[in-house]
Structure 1
């Protein structure tokens, strides 16, 4: 899908026909080959730049070719209640245009729409790039806090139920933290690379940075570092919690098995005595005695009580 936008003052215009006019934002979502060729012709962007983000395993990086700058960053996505993942997003700066390429619709680019047109300008490509990166870092922070609240909720459920389902949910959240940590570190390297590009006077024709843009880039770096710290902290907490609850569940299982073993021992006593008196032999209080049955029952019950007391003293009951 190809959408084309251009800022006009405080409004964002959506273009219906392809144009080479300056300041157009080409937004490609899971594009077809025809759409890629169309954008490549209109912007003179290298085809390998346009296809870079179409690989789900593409790592964050920057690349410069001729007058084009490619920035690939991994953005966070939520795929379910407990499922979080990352997705590559390519941002291409050409002398006259900005191009974004992604495999899926995402909230990062979705926040740049006509209702928020006052906050960004497609003509100011460098600032727009930094705003996209800042929005991406903000969503990482938001999802990390959301995961933490979900962990607290699952913890309360675990304290009551101790079922495997909650542990599997925590494991899914742990996977999300792992993806976030790897992506945020790679994004941090990209931001440091952009910082060096900004200071290179020979590349000023590709990326023009003004004072406000410098402050914005610093804010992006700070947000990214904060997200990394939060992911590491909550990941350690989650790992410790999973280990603790796994130990608690294992201990509860041991207690149940100990109780069942004790009950088996206690039930074996009357079974053994009944077997003795059920033999075809002449024994005291046998079948010929009028109260023989009740004597056997009382005797078995007394031995069971004595055995239960002994097991209780040893902490097995």
Structure 2
């Protein structure tokens, strides 16, 4: 779906085409009416294209990663790219519908800006909105991790470990997205598209870079904490398993005593205490005494 917006400026207006979930019909329109190439559309439609900034002959290509909630129940996040193509005075953005962008807020900010601000200023406004989304995502994941942490106890389950693993995996995606976005921001800073622009664009780009660095530090700490909690939870689960195996081993040894004694007395041979009216009682009492001695031994060795 292609949505057209006209951004009015004092010197020159520019057009913004917001393309969501591009289909074959949209591609045909962009190729025929807006003179984009198949190579441009290949970059824009590739969900696995790496984040980067390139200045080509007649256009600028910018791919930026945004966090996207994949599963609401587990609060899992992945990365979703948004692609910017600037050709002359026209901006094309390519994204999926799942990647939410508050169009009204973006347009409101664009109107509130200086009328002499450039097309790059408008792009930086969108980049800033996406960048601050990382911090909100990290805060949300921290709350989810803390909730799982409060549920952890000595009877930790595999499901709890899987939930912690989902949080940890989301943090890894977020950290990767921030790192690649910082490379993109550095590329823009070093390019002529910024060095030749006004100071407001430079300040805005600097603000975005600062937000990205803050998010990078925050997610690094959050990931480290989550990894330590996950490691502790794994150790706790392994310890619980060891306790269960020790309990079963000890009781299997204790219950082996009656099996051995009854096995001996079940044979057709002469054995002590095998004759007489009190034979069964005597054998049972002897068996119980041996079991008690074995249990006391395990207690002394603190194996019970």
For Structure 1 versus Structure 2, the TM-score category normalised by the shorter chain is: 0.7 to 0.9
Question: Which residue of the partner structure matches residue 288 of structure 2?
Answer: 301
Once residues 311 and 270 of structure 1 are traced to their aligned partners in structure 2, the CA distance between those partners, rounded to angstroms, is 17
Once residues 309 and 161 of structure 1 are traced to their aligned partners in structure 2, the CA distance between those partners, rounded to angstroms, is 27
Which of 115, 120, 123 matches 1:129? 123
Given the alignment of the two structures, is residue 74 of structure 1 paired with residue 68 of structure 2, yes or no? Answer: no
Contact 1:43 1:94 in 2 (8 A): no
Once residues 78 and 87 of structure 1 are traced to their aligned partners in structure 2, the CA distance between those partners, rounded to angstroms, is 10
Question: Which residue of the partner structure matches residue 92 of structure 1?
Answer: 85
Task: Provide the secondary structure at the position in 2 that maps to 1:304.
Answer: helix
TM-score normalized with structure 1 length: 0.84
Q: Larger deviation: 256-265 or 289-298? A: 289-298
Question: Which residue of the partner structure matches residue 231 of structure 1?
Answer: 219
Unaligned runs of at least 5 residues, structure 1: 10-20
TM-score normalized with structure 2 length: 0.87
Question: Which residue of the partner structure matches residue 4 of structure 1?
Answer: 4
Once residues 128 and 50 of structure 1 are traced to their aligned partners in structure 2, the CA distance between those partners, rounded to angstroms, is 22
Contact 1:26 1:39 in 2 (8 A): no
Unaligned runs of at least 5 residues, structure 2: none
Task: Output one character per residue of 1:267-317: Cα deviation in whole Å (capped at 9) or x when no partner.
Answer: 11122222333333444433x523222222211111111110001111211
Contact 2:257 2:287 in 1 (8 A): yes
Within 5 A, what are the aligned runs for 1:39-118? 39-40=30-31, 43-80=34-71, 81-107=74-100, 109=101, 111-113=102-104, 117-118=107-108
Within 5 A, what are the aligned runs for 1:1-317? 1-7=1-7, 22-40=13-31, 43-80=34-71, 81-107=74-100, 109=101, 111-113=102-104, 117-121=107-111, 124-159=118-153, 161-198=155-192, 204=196, 209-286=197-274, 288-317=275-304
Q: Residue 200 and residue 277 in structure 1: after superposition, are their counterparts in 2 closer, same or farther (change >3 A)?
A: closer
> By how many angstroms is 1:47 displaced?
4.6
Once residues 221 and 199 of structure 1 are traced to their aligned partners in structure 2, the CA distance between those partners, rounded to angstroms, is 16
Once residues 37 and 190 of structure 1 are traced to their aligned partners in structure 2, the CA distance between those partners, rounded to angstroms, is 29
> By how many angstroms is 1:53 displaced?
2.3
Once residues 268 and 283 of structure 2 are traced to their aligned partners in structure 1, the CA distance between those partners, rounded to angstroms, is 16
Once residues 98 and 16 of structure 2 are traced to their aligned partners in structure 1, the CA distance between those partners, rounded to angstroms, is 16
Once residues 7 and 22 of structure 1 are traced to their aligned partners in structure 2, the CA distance between those partners, rounded to angstroms, is 6
Q: Residue 2 and residue 120 in structure 1: after superposition, are their counterparts in 2 closer, same or farther (change >3 A)?
A: same
> By how many angstroms is 1:45 displaced?
4.6
Once residues 235 and 308 of structure 1 are traced to their aligned partners in structure 2, the CA distance between those partners, rounded to angstroms, is 46
Once residues 16 and 106 of structure 2 are traced to their aligned partners in structure 1, the CA distance between those partners, rounded to angstroms, is 15
Task: Provide the secondary structure at the position in 1 that maps to 2:213.
Answer: helix
